[in-house]
């Protein structure tokens, strides 16, 4: 067996063994012990809701939200739990499920529906030719569990949305480009907590919003809204789709963390309170690890990916909230000759290609609730991306001697092509949503 094949076989065996070990540990953790659930309840106008009863259907245990909308329940048995919400003036209803893990604090946010949204009525009107001003004919609400457990999704929100109606896969399975209703991948808008991000993927190419795999850790996602048509005017700068990703808050009770391993690599999540419970922070850092096992996965090299996600939330007052979000990704790839490659087998073995990519988006938002009048949201966002590529011809000066080390050969070879591109964008916007009086 060639050296590269043996290395790849060893890497796959190590990954399989690690997956079995981690899977067994996760199953043991999810079926034994207890955890806790903490969160906040918000009214339909975005203000914290007090006096709302939160119950877990499987345990019959309940908690009541405080004046700032917070609640907490401890000693909840690990597993999937469903929440029943009981609020004054609203009929009881069962909300989404929560995954409770032993020894961890699960954080949830409950949003009460508007009173008008739950009143049963029948209206008989004449047919109208003009459609409503805002028509969401193709909207999908994606849960974190669906993205995490989807077969073949690789815990990537973009790959998961490729299975939705109106969306098709791009050129191959190695990329997660979104082609919605025949449009271009560049026509898709990504919004993370009111922050517009040009690209949320690693190894992104110019004039495209896709890449190889997503940079956002699925464990930080609260929910995702995907619109493939009929989206409102604020998102009119894209003509194919709009993806709104909401990140969850960190724990406001205590410091915690976890480690994980997946397709993107290994990493960890840390979270904790801020300002005596008035805020929280959460951060996720991950790195791929295939380069530790082999120098060629069959494409002439090994991609290396770093991903960093973070969110900080702080309540200035019962009516004012600020939060900051950052999504950063670094990716590198070297293709070409390796210690085990044969120049006669491929022209790629006669070259040395280096790719270095870096992209980051940060944003700061301030939300103000004007009592019964409306909600204002001010946001400022800065995003930047850089791609550096260099090609070297290892045979430009002739066939090197066999005794010349590969690293020295690469250092001596001339650069025949290089590209350095950088793009930056700064956005400032203010949205105001008013509540009409009846």
In a domain, 222, yes or no: yes
Q: Does a structural domain hold residue 79? A: yes
Report strand pairing: 34-42 vs 105-111: parallel
Residues 71 and 205 in one domain: no
Is 188 in the same domain as 40? no
For residues 270 and 325, state if they share a domain. yes
Q: What is the pTM of this model?
A: 0.73
Sign of the CA dihedral running 286, 288, 289, 292: negative
256 and 333 housed in the same domain: yes
Claim to verify: residue 207 and residue 244 sit in the same structural domain: yes
In a domain, 15, yes or no: no
Instruction: Give the mean model confidence (pLDDT) for residues 93-113.
Output: 81
Q: Is residue 23 one of the residues assigned to a domain?
A: no
Under the banding of pLDDT at 50, 70 and 90, the label for residue 377 is very high
| pLDDT at residue number 18 | 41
Per-residue pLDDT, 17: 38
- pLDDT above 90 covers a percentage of the chain that reads 38
Weakest mean pLDDT among 37-51, 55-69, 119-133, 151-165: 119-133
Mean pLDDT, rounded, for 79-83: 83
252 and 155 co-located in one domain: yes
What is the domain-level CATH number for residue 42? 2.60.40.1120
Question: Which of 213 and 169 is assigned the larger pLDDT?
Answer: 213
Q: What is the sign, positive or negative, of the torsion defined by CA atoms of 25, 28, 32, 37?
A: positive
Residue 153: domain span: 139-338+346-434
Q: Residue 5 has what pLDDT?
A: 43
User: Distance between CA 88 and CA 80 in Å, rounded?
Assistant: 27
Q: Would you say residue 143 has pLDDT above 70?
A: yes
Structure confidence at residue 306 as a pLDDT band (50, 70, 90): very high
**Res 423: pLDDT:** 92
In a domain, 366, yes or no: yes
Q: Residue 402: inside a domain, yes or no?
A: yes
- Tell whether 81 and 146 lie within a shared domain: no
Report the number of distinct structural domains present in the chain: 2
Is 169 part of any domain?
yes
Among the listed residues 289, 316, 328, the one whose alpha carbon sits nearest the alpha carbon of residue 15: 289
Shared-domain flag, residues 419 and 277? yes
Residues 341 and 335: their CA atoms lie apart, in Å, by 11
Strands 61-64 and 139-143: unpaired
CATH label of the domain that carries residue 241: 2.170.130.10
User: Residue 100 is encoded by which pair of tokens?
Assistant: 């409770």
pLDDT digits (tens, 9 = 90+) for 187-202: 888 999 999 998 999 9
Is the same domain home to 102 and 161?
Answer: no
The answer to whether residue 147 sits within a structural domain is yes
Residue 374 CB-half CA count within 13 A: 9
| Res. 323: pLDDT tops 50 | yes
Predicted confidence (pLDDT) at residue 56 exceeds the cutoff of 90: no
pLDDT digits (tens, 9 = 90+) for 228-257: 877 776 776 667 889 999 999 999 988 999
Same domain, 326 and 214: yes
CA–CA distance, 239 with 147 (Å, rounded to integer): 24
Enumerate residues 6+ apart whose C-beta is below 8 A from 73: 36, 37, 38, 54, 56, 61, 62, 63
The reply to whether 303 and 158 lie within a common domain is yes
Q: How high is the pLDDT of residue 123?
A: 58
Examine the fold and report which residue of 91, 111, 131 is the final residue of a domain before the chain moves on. 111
Residue 71 near residue 40 (C-beta atoms within 8 A): yes
Which pLDDT value is given to residue 356?
95
Q: Are residues 407 and 322 in the same domain?
A: yes
Q: Of 70, 91, 111, which one is at a domain's C-terminal end?
A: 111
């Amino acid at each position: 067996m060639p050296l590269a094949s043996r290395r790849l076989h060893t890497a796959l065996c190590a990954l399989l063994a690690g997956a079995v070990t981690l899977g067994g540990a996760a199953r043991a953790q999810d079926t034994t012990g207890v955890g806790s659930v903490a969160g906040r309840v918000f009214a339909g106008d975005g203000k914290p809701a007090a006096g709302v009863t939160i119950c877990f259907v499987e345990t019959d245990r309940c908690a009541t939200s405080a004046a700032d909308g917070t609640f907490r329940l401890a000693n909840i048995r690990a597993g999937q739990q469903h929440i029943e919400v009981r609020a004054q003036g609203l009929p009881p209803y069962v909300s989404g499920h929560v995954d409770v893990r032993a020894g961890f604090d699960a954080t949830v946010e409950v949003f009460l529906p508007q009173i008008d949204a739950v009143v049963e009525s029948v209206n008989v009107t004449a047919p109208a030719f003009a459609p409503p001003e805002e028509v969401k004919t193709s909207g999908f609400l994606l849960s974190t569990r669906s993205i995490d457990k989807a077969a073949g999704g690789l815990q990537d929100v973009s790959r998961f949305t490729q299975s939705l109606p109106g969306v098709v896969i791009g050129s191959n399975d190695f990329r997660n480009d979104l082609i919605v209703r025949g449009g271009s991948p560049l026509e898709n808008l990504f919004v993370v907590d009111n922050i517009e991000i040009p690209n949320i993927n690693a190894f992104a190419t110019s004039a495209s919003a896709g890449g190889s795999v997503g940079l956002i850790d699925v464990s930080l996602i609260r929910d995702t809204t995907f619109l493939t048509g009929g989206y409102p005017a604020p998102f009119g700068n894209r003509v194919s789709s709009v993806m709104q990703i909401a990140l969850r808050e960190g724990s406001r009770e205590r410091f915690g963390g976890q480690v994980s391993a997946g397709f993107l690599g290994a990493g960890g999540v840390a979270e904790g309170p801020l300002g005596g419970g008035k805020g929280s922070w959460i951060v996720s850092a991950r790195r791929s690890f295939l380069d530790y096992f082999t120098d060629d996965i069959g494409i002439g090299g090994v991609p290396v990916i770093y991903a960093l996600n973070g969110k900080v939330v702080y309540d200035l007052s019962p009516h004012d909230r600020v939060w900051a979000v950052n999504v950063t990704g670094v990716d590198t790839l070297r293709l070409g000759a390796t210690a085990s490659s044969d120049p006669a087998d491929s022209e790629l073995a006669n070259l040395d290609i280096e790719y270095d990519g870096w992209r980051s988006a940060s944003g700061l938002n301030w939300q103000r609730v004007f009592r019964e009048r409306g909600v204002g949201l001010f946001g400022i966002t800065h995003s930047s991306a850089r791609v550096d590529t260099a090609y070297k011809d290892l045979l430009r000066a002739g066939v090197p001697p066999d005794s010349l080390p590969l690293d020295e050969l690469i250092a001596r070879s001339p650069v025949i092509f290089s590209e350095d591109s950088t793009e930056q964008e700064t956005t400032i916007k203010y949205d105001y949503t008013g509540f009409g009086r009846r």
